[in-house]
């Protein structure tokens, strides 16, 4: 029992022992020295200060909600208080939040969620039969037939079965075992959990984790917090952000000198870069992971967000199995999905899952145990995930509207992806790779030497300096490339393609004008 310490009774307090303890000095007892402040009043340092807090937490950064966003929120406040600005609103193009930018939820999903929340509505004739039958099925799997009950820590059984069936359909019949499915609080939760399991060792045996540069900064944040070693591999900007095995090899070889590389993370479709990896590339990565004995983590939350002609989403699971048993039975893989992106955009529900392939059984038990401490993922998010993997089928009453809404959202995104690339590439000093998928553009910007100098003097990254200026002058909030990582001497920003098309056009124009102004100012 882990409570061995707790099982031992404490020694009965004895008079003289107690006195002895009291005689210990304040320092010996670990108490801080009293401080005399300016006005002669004694004060004590707090228990929890920047110097006495968890040092790994201090190393954590998350640019997507970092300093530039805090400034944007401040500006919004100032605007609402009536302060005059060169713009009427702040546009938060920093975060992949579709609904916040006006995208509408899928009607069917929200109907089912309403029915699950308030089952009285099951007798309401305004709800279609297929929504009611989905709701009934979900409720029957909940304790006391209520979404308010905890679920099993791995997630509601019938939902995991539906996820497994979805994966099988998606992957052309490649088998999926529901026992390998873990529902999570957004994909971030699953990713952090897996990284936590993987981290061990000290010094040169400390776990190293390979991540793409540029990356979605959840990865660097999690690695910082866990005290794992971050191993950067650079995506090839000249080749549409593709992944080169030679670069992977370079990164892992170098890393072996100072850590123990054990995991390889890949985001496909990519964030912030939007590239959709070719099937060949995915095969090569799997082969590389097998050869170098790396646990593969495939972040596939944008799997429905594929726009460019000639591009197609290939799941790592599918490719792995199509490579035959030599790989399918040995490579350890975790794939992640979420309800936050694709055509649903339901970020606030924190729904997600991971599929784990070839995990050691004893480690699986440890994983189940670890998840049990937090009880379960939010049940509304689990219910929503069930609908995402089990949407209306042809022949069902809601099918027509569902497909219409889904198609409208995805085609609008495809249009905006093209538009963004197009407009940004007309700007001298901005170079934008095709937005093949996901929800972002990550164009390269040329920053004049004078501006780089001024930024450096201010102690700011040059692209942060650029983005801050853009925010103050136009109200547009982007995230500087330095928040995601980039090759030395290059600068970028990440902008979402989510604002409604008309607004996006205006946005792109303002970015264009700003860039020209900025370049002029610092020429």
Which residues, 99 to 128, sit near other proteins by CB under 8 A?
99-105, 110-111, 113-115, 117-118, 121, 124, 126
Put the strands of the sheet holding 229-234 in their side by side order: 181-185, 351-357, 333-338, 295-299, 260-267, 207-213, 229-234
CA angle 498, 499, 500 (to 5 degrees): 115
Cα separations (Å) of 489 from 25, 202, 407, 441, 478? 55, 33, 40, 19, 19
Verify binding: residue 153, other proteins, rule CB under 8 A.
yes
Please state, in angstroms and rounded to a whole number, the distance separating the CA atoms of residues 355 and 182.
7
Site residues (CB under 8 A) for other proteins, limited to 234-253: none
Of 43-51, 81-89, 420-428, 476-484, which part binds other proteins (CB under 8 A)? 43-51
Verify binding: residue 464, other proteins, rule CB under 8 A.
no
Please state, in angstroms and rounded to a whole number, the distance separating the CA atoms of residues 302 and 414.
13
Q: Minimum distance between the CB of residue 500 and other proteins, rounded to whole angstroms? A: 10
Q: Minimum distance between the CB of residue 425 and other proteins, rounded to whole angstroms? A: 29
Q: Minimum distance between the CB of residue 200 and other proteins, rounded to whole angstroms? A: 5
Cα separations (Å) of 486 from 109, 276, 360, 435, 480? 38, 19, 35, 17, 10
Is 122:115 a contact under the CB 8 Å cutoff?
A: yes
HSE, CB side, 13 Å, CA atoms: give it for residue 234.
10
Verify binding: residue 203, other proteins, rule CB under 8 A.
no
Please state, in angstroms and rounded to a whole number, the distance separating the CA atoms of residues 433 and 420.
10
Q: Minimum distance between the CB of residue 4 and other proteins, rounded to whole angstroms? A: 10
Candidate list 326, 457, 488, 502; residue touching other proteins; CB under 8 A: 326
Is 344:381 a contact under the CB 8 Å cutoff?
A: no
**Residue 13 phi/psi, 5° resolution?**
-60, 130
Candidate list 93, 147, 229, 243; residue touching other proteins; CB under 8 A: 147
Of 192-200, 246-254, 438-446, 456-464, which part binds other proteins (CB under 8 A)? 192-200
CB atoms within 10 A of CB 70: 10
Site residues (CB under 8 A) for other proteins, limited to 49-68: 49-50, 52-55, 57-58, 60-62, 64-66
Candidate list 47, 83, 88, 175; residue touching other proteins; CB under 8 A: 47
Nearer to other proteins, 106 or 424 (CB): 106
Please state, in angstroms and rounded to a whole number, the distance separating the CA atoms of residues 178 and 353.
11
Candidate list 159, 181, 183, 198; residue touching other proteins; CB under 8 A: 198
Site residues (CB under 8 A) for other proteins, limited to 329-358: 329-330, 332, 344-350, 358
Q: Minimum distance between the CB of residue 432 and other proteins, rounded to whole angstroms? A: 26
Is 466:491 a contact under the CB 8 Å cutoff?
A: yes
Verify binding: residue 2, other proteins, rule CB under 8 A.
yes
Q: Minimum distance between the CB of residue 143 and other proteins, rounded to whole angstroms? A: 3
Please state, in angstroms and rounded to a whole number, the distance separating the CA atoms of residues 31 and 146.
50
Nearer to other proteins, 330 or 393 (CB): 330
Q: Minimum distance between the CB of residue 512 and other proteins, rounded to whole angstroms? A: 26
Of 5-13, 248-256, 278-286, 471-479, which part binds other proteins (CB under 8 A)? 5-13
Nearer to other proteins, 379 or 430 (CB): 379
Please state, in angstroms and rounded to a whole number, the distance separating the CA atoms of residues 81 and 62.
28
Cα separations (Å) of 86 from 90, 471, 504? 11, 10, 18
Candidate list 129, 177, 204, 370; residue touching other proteins; CB under 8 A: 370
Verify binding: residue 36, other proteins, rule CB under 8 A.
no
Nearer to other proteins, 9 or 37 (CB): 9
Coil/strand/helix, residue 450: helix
Nearer to other proteins, 200 or 506 (CB): 200
Cα separations (Å) of 254 from 202, 203, 221, 241, 291? 18, 15, 22, 22, 16
Nearer to other proteins, 81 or 362 (CB): 362
Site residues (CB under 8 A) for other proteins, limited to 270-309: 293-295
Residue 511: partners with Cβ closer than 8 Å, 6 or more residues away: 424, 427, 430, 470, 474, 476, 495
Verify binding: residue 458, other proteins, rule CB under 8 A.
no
Verify binding: residue 173, other proteins, rule CB under 8 A.
no
Nearer to other proteins, 221 or 414 (CB): 221
**Strand-pair partners of 445:** 430, 491
Candidate list 144, 203, 395, 459; residue touching other proteins; CB under 8 A: 144
Verify binding: residue 397, other proteins, rule CB under 8 A.
no
Please state, in angstroms and rounded to a whole number, the distance separating the CA atoms of residues 47 and 53.
9
Verify binding: residue 71, other proteins, rule CB under 8 A.
no
Nearer to other proteins, 434 or 475 (CB): 475
Is 187:241 a contact under the CB 8 Å cutoff?
A: no
Of 13-21, 409-417, 474-482, 485-493, which part binds other proteins (CB under 8 A)? 13-21
Verify binding: residue 148, other proteins, rule CB under 8 A.
yes
Site residues (CB under 8 A) for other proteins, limited to 414-433: none
Alpha helices by DSSP H, listed for 373-448, are 379-389, 399-424
Nearer to other proteins, 106 or 452 (CB): 106
Please state, in angstroms and rounded to a whole number, the distance separating the CA atoms of residues 145 and 160.
17
Of 246-254, 372-380, 404-412, 507-515, which part binds other proteins (CB under 8 A)? 372-380
The alpha carbon of 453 is separated from its chain's Cα centroid by a whole number of angstroms, namely: 33
How many secondary structure helices (H) and strands (E) does the chain include? 19, 16
The residue count for binding other proteins (CB under 8 A) is 117
């Amino acid at each position: 029992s882990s409570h061995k310490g707790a099982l031992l009774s404490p020694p009965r307090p004895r008079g003289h022992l107690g006195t002895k303890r009291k005689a210990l000095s304040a320092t010996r007892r670990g108490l801080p020295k009293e401080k005399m402040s300016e006005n002669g009043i004694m004060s004590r340092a707090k228990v929890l200060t920047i110097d006495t807090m968890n040092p790994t937490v201090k190393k954590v950064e998350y640019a997507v909600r970092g300093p530039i966003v805090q400034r944007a929120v401040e500006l919004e406040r100032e605007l609402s208080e009536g302060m005059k600005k060169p713009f009427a609103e702040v546009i938060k193009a920093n975060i992949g939040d579709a609904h916040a930018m006006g995208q509408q939820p899928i009607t069917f999903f929200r109907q089912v969620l309403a029915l699950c929340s308030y089952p009285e509505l099951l007798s309401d004739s305004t709800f279609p039969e297929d929504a009611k039958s989905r709701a009934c099925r979900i409720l029957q799997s909940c304790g006391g037939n209520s979404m308010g009950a905890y679920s099993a820590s791995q997630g509601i059984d019938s939902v995991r079965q539906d996820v497994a069936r979805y994966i099988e359909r998606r992957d052309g019949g490649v088998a999926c075992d529901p026992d390998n499915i873990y529902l999570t609080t957004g994909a971030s939760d699953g990713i952090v959990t897996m990284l936590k399991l993987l981290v061990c060792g000290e010094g040169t045996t400390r776990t190293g984790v390979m991540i793409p540069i540029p990356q979605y900064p959840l990865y660097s944040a999690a690695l910082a917090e866990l005290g794992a070693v971050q191993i950067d591999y650079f995506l090839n900007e000249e080749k549409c952000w593709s992944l080169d095995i030679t670069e992977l090899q370079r990164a892992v070889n170098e890393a072996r000198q100072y850590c123990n590389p054990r995991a390889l993370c890949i985001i496909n479709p990519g964030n912030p870069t939007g590239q959709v990896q070719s099937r060949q590339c995915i095969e090569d990565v799997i082969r590389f992971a097998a050869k170098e004995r790396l646990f593969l983590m495939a972040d596939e939350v944008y799997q429905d967000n594929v726009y460019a002609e000639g591009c197609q989403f290939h799941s790592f699971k599918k490719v792995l199995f199509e490579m035959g048993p030599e790989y399918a039975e040995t490579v350890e893989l975790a794939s992640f999905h979420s309800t936050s992106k694709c055509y649903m955009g339901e970020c606030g529900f924190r729904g997600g899952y991971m599929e784990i392939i070839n995990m050691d059984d004893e480690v699986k038990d440890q994983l189940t145990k670890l998840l049990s401490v937090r009880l379960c993922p939010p049940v509304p998010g689990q219910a929503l995930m069930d609908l995402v993997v089990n949407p209306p089928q042809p022949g069902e009453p809601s099918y027509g509207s569902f497909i219409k809404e889904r198609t409208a959202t995805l085609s609008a995104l495809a249009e905006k992806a093209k538009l963004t690339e197009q407009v940004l590439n007309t700007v001298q000093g901005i170079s934008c790779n095709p937005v093949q998928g996901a929800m972002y553009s990550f164009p390269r910007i040329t920053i004049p030497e004078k501006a780089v100098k001024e930024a450096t003097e201010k102690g700011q990254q040059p692209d942060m300096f650029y983005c801050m200026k853009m925010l103050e002058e136009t109200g547009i909030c982007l995230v500087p490339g330095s928040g995601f990582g980039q090759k030395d001497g290059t600068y970028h920003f990440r902008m979402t393609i989510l604002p409604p098309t008309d607004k996006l056009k205006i946005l792109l124009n303002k970015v264009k004008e700003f860039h020209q102004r900025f370049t002029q100012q610092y020429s």
